[in-house]
């Protein structure tokens, strides 16, 4: 029988730029994503977050969707440039007001607010001053954290400083597919290091405003060697150090993985040693985002990590070509607990993009592949609990179909279908399924087939 512990937090997640729209409303400053999406060639079909899910104007109705799901928690992010339009200096009461009302309406619906301070949208004015490459950003971020903590303080259940800092430095500074669009390996360790310093400074700033549960959200992808060849095993170790340990080791173990010096070679900096105590400021929980795994092989021609993903053709893949591999979720949670010791864990994102049509027909839209994905991953999360992992909650990505960054609107992850022409929200079968899981605290997972049998 599948039962989750009493008090297990059932949630759904979104982020500001992906759903809000109205990016410049009420005195907000421009963000790096606004600028990037408006730069020709940067996003699929030139799509932008100008309207997205129009959540900025429809937040009250969207909170009632959360209520319909029976959720206990909602993870959202705050847009830094709404709160402090220039990134530093004067704050904007109207921008803060939006989140203030959102938090209140969540609380009156009995839903616990889970807030992320940085889900990738940086004030463009700070990008112009070097963004994550400028050491001063730790102080700017702490000041921003302090403004938000002062405004929302005791009403927020969990505070996450950063969402997936690995993506910020890897996609933004190594591959150039996210802002600032750089492709300079030597910048990566510095961007990562300043993200970590900003995280530590924000933890202190939030705590200074009173008792709070503060943590960080990382994306973990367990790495399995493609073969027993020493070269593949070494590549797997490099990939694991780079993606899974680059941020967590400094935060939770006090030092970078040694392999990073090998990965970056001459580009690996000598960081000021005193930075490590700021980065290692104790945290209350760890948020893990899980979507897929990587079967890893040596790739000498892709520096600096020289590791590649070997596609597993026998397994199903999502519309983003991410392998569906639920066992990886159990494995990575167990791995995190083994490596980092006892710390409360939350699965802060998990979900799948499948090719749902742009227009929904009928009152509920069928999405059997997403239902199967959720069922199998929730079972995998439960398996981790059975193996002793201190998992406290699960957040489905995402409440709504939304702006999937450089992929634009075609990659639909929502429990609710969004018709981007009419802004009509339609529940998908996965929303109904998730509601049953929540209502039964897991028992609904005991019925139904696995992903192979369903829809494929």
Q: Shortest gap between Cβ of 322 and ligand FCB (angstroms)? A: 9
Please answer whether residues 288 and 218 qualify as being in contact, where contact means their C-beta atoms are separated by less than 8 angstroms.
yes
In the bound state with ligand FCB, the residue whose beta carbon lies nearer, of 51 and 385, is 51
Q: Shortest gap between Cβ of 349 and ligand FCB (angstroms)? A: 6
**Using CB under 6 A, which of the segments 160-168, 172-180, 265-273, 438-446 binds ligand FCB?**
160-168
**Using CB under 6 A, which of the segments 163-171, 231-239, 308-316, 444-452 binds ligand FCB?**
163-171
Q: Shortest gap between Cβ of 403 and ligand FCB (angstroms)? A: 9
Task: Give me the phi and psi of 21, to 5 degrees please.
Answer: 65, -170
Site for ligand FCB in 31-50 (CB under 6 A): none
Q: Shortest gap between Cβ of 276 and ligand FCB (angstroms)? A: 26
Nearest-10 Cα torsion for 336, 337, 341, 343: 100
Site for ligand FCB in 195-224 (CB under 6 A): 219
**Using CB under 6 A, which of the segments 159-167, 199-207, 236-244, 427-435 binds ligand FCB?**
159-167
Nearest-10 Cα torsion for 82, 87, 91, 96: 30
**Residue 116, interface with ligand FCB (CB under 6 A)?**
no
In the bound state with ligand FCB, the residue whose beta carbon lies nearer, of 15 and 92, is 15
> How many positions of this chain bind ligand FCB (CB under 6 A)?
12
In the bound state with ligand FCB, the residue whose beta carbon lies nearer, of 164 and 297, is 164
**Using CB under 6 A, which of the segments 169-177, 368-376, 387-395, 397-405 binds ligand FCB?**
397-405
Among the listed residues 170, 209, 221, 404, the single contact to ligand FCB using CB under 6 A? 404
Among the listed residues 159, 256, 335, 413, the single contact to ligand FCB using CB under 6 A? 413
164 is catalytic: yes
String marking each residue 317-356 x if it binds ligand FCB according to CB under 6 A: --------------------------------x-------
HSE value, Cβ hemisphere, 13 Å, CA-based, for 424: 13
Q: Shortest gap between Cβ of 65 and ligand FCB (angstroms)? A: 18
In the bound state with ligand FCB, the residue whose beta carbon lies nearer, of 289 and 451, is 289
What is the distance between the alpha carbons of residues 383 and 368, in angstroms, rounded to a whole number? 22
86 is catalytic: no
**Using CB under 6 A, which of the segments 21-29, 162-170, 222-230, 374-382 binds ligand FCB?**
162-170
In the bound state with ligand FCB, the residue whose beta carbon lies nearer, of 289 and 426, is 289
Among the listed residues 12, 65, 167, 220, the single contact to ligand FCB using CB under 6 A? 167
In the bound state with ligand FCB, the residue whose beta carbon lies nearer, of 136 and 355, is 355
Q: Shortest gap between Cβ of 402 and ligand FCB (angstroms)? A: 8
Q: Which of 86, 164, 240, 297 is catalytic?
A: 164
Please answer whether residues 89 and 28 qualify as being in contact, where contact means their C-beta atoms are separated by less than 8 angstroms.
no
Which residues are at the interface with ligand FCB (CB under 6 A)?
A: 15, 18, 163-164, 167, 219, 289, 349, 397, 404-405, 413
- Catalytic residue list: 164, 349
């Amino acid at each position: 029988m599948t039962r989750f512990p009493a008090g297990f937090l059932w949630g759904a997640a979104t982020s500001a730029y992906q759903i809000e729209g109205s990016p410049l409303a009420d005195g907000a400053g421009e963000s790096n994503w606004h600028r990037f999406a408006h730069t020709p060639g940067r996003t699929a079909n030139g799509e932008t977050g100008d309207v997205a899910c129009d959540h900025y104007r429809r937040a009250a109705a969207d909170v009632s969707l959360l209520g319909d799901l029976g959720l206990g928690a909602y993870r959202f992010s705050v847009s830094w440039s709404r709160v402090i339009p220039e990134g530093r200096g004067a704050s904007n009461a109207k921008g803060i007001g939006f989140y203030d009302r959102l938090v209140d309406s969540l609380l009156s619906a009995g839903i616990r607010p889970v807030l992320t301070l940085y889900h990738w949208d940086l004030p463009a004015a700070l990008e112009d001053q070097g963004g994550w490459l400028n050491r001063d950003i730790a102080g700017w971020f702490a000041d921003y954290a302090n403004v938000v903590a002062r405004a929302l303080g005791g009403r927020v259940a969990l505070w996450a400083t950063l969402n997936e800092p690995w993506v910020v430095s890897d996609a933004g500074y190594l591959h150039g597919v996210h802002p600032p669009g750089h492709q300079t390996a030597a910048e990566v360790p510095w961007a990562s290091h300043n993200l970590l310093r900003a995280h530590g400074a924000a933890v202190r700033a939030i705590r200074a405003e009173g008792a709070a549960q503060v943590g960080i959200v990382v994306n973990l992808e367990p790495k399995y060697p493609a073969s027993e060849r020493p070269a593949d095993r070494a590549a797997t170790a490099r990939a694991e150090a780079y993606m899974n340990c680059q941020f967590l080791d400094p935060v939770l173990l006090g030092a970078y993985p040694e392999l990073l010096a090998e990965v970056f070679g001459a580009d690996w900096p000598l960081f000021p040693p005193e930075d490590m105590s700021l980065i290692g400021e104790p945290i209350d929980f760890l948020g893990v985002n899980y979507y897929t795994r990587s079967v890893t092989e040596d790739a000498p021609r892709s520096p600096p990590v020289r590791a590649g993903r070997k596609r597993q053709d026998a397994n199903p893949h999502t519309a983003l070509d991410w392998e569906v591999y639920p066992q990886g979720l159990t494995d990575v949670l167990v791995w995190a607990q083994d490596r980092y010791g006892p710390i409360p864990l939350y699965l802060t994102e998990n979900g799948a993009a499948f090719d749902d049509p742009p227009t929904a027909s009928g009152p509920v839209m069928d999405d059997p592949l997403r239902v199967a994905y959720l069922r199998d991953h929730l079972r995998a999360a439960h398996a981790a609990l059975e193996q002793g992992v201190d998992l406290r909650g699960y957040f489905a990505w995402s409440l709504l179909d939304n702006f999937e960054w450089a992929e634009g609107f075609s990659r639909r992850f929502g429990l609710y279908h969004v018709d981007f022409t009419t802004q009509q929200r339609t529940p998908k079968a996965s929303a109904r399924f998730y509601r049953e899981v929540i209502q039964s605290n897991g028992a609904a997972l005991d019925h139904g087939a696995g992903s192979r049998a369903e829809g494929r």
